Chain A
């Protein structure tokens, strides 16, 4: 009898702890949106990828449709090569879609925003997005602003 109650208590203990683990996996982490229903890779070259990080969001019309997979320096063109994995559900992006690096909020994370084009042909695995716009570097913007305003004074 006593043996049985110990077994019940151990069973309770183990199941509560495993429930806690499930809670961590489902509620606390991004495990639930990792369910991969396939994805395809699209490449884009940026003059300046300033501040973009791996796993940054790729969004279109404000809806996340993929993530940045890899950022590397392209030694042929001296620019940043960004590989993105786009969810296979969104396989009808026009070929002349343009990509720009944007910031969520003033100090928020960088993300890639895609703007659809008008062609009837769609982006395939390994295709390159031709139209890109670099990250906005705040320092450069401020210096340009100061420079222009001092020009006007003259």
Chain B
């Protein structure tokens, strides 16, 4: 009996959390108009969430692209098909690695910071103080951060893919002497703008949505003690990673599963 009680308790807890976070998301979306009418708040958040993640994403993209280039040549040369390297590098970056790896890095770099920041604001009662002054923290604190994440991640994912393609070029063409013309022309003939690039961007928009939502909700839902904030930060990173990988599978099955 105890066992079933435990299951029931945890599923009720889960449902309650899902409900709370959905209401939270709804109220963020309602505050969208207010955020757009005050771009200064949004720009400040794009700076701390997006622009500061720039170098992390750029360097990660370069190295992931170079590794893909090296491994691609290693495998493809057994079939004498090094000229298909461009397709392999670009397709795997644009479709999967670009959106997913940049989302995972973004969750670790920006998502955890968001949770800690909001959690600390709650613990030091800054949010309550704002409410006392009739300033809605949802409009001034939460919503700008949400939309900054939503704007930044797709841009970062595009950057990741572009630099990765360049990294693959460096490793494959400059280092291992794959033909440069074959690299670019095979890539261009195989990668479709709508099917591959637009779908990759849609993926990263959905990941951005998930990460910002999870990070902000964990922050506002955190137990306002130092241990509570540390647990909430951990949960943000873990849950974001789970959500990203799960949704990536679902989206891949939807977008590319039939072809």
Contact = CB atoms under 8 A, between A and B. Distances in A.
B241 interface: no
B184 to A, nearest CB: 7
Contacts of B90: 28
A9 B47 contact: yes
B196 interface: yes
A69 to B, nearest CB: 14
B44 A17 contact: no
A141 interface: no
Interface string B11-43: 000000000000000000000000000001001
Determine the main DSSP class of A at the interface with B: helix
Contacts of B40: 3
Nearest to B158: A21
Interface string A102-131: 000000000000000000000000000000
A17 B158 contact: yes
Contact of B193 (A9, A34, A55): A34
Contact of A9 (B51, B156, B161, B196): B51
A31 B191 CA distance: 9
Contacts of A3: 40
A6 interface: yes
A73 interface: no
B192 interface: yes
Nearest to B156: A17
Given A21-B158, A24-B158, A6 B44 contact: yes
Contacts of B116: none
Contact of A10 (B46, B159, B162): B46
Nearest to B190: A30
29 contacts: A3-B40, A6-B44, A6-B47, A10-B46, A10-B50, A10-B51, A12-B51, A13-B46, A13-B50, A13-B54, A14-B155, A16-B159, A17-B155, A17-B156, A18-B155, A18-B158, A21-B158, A23-B162, A24-B94, A25-B197, A27-B165, A28-B191, A28-B197, A29-B188, A29-B192, A30-B191, A30-B192, A31-B197, A34-B193
Interface of A: 3, 6-7, 9-10, 12-14, 16-18, 20-21, 23-25, 27-31, 33-34, 55
Interface of B: 40, 43-44, 46-47, 50-51, 54, 90, 94, 155-156, 158-159, 161-163, 165, 184, 187-189, 191-193, 196-197, 201
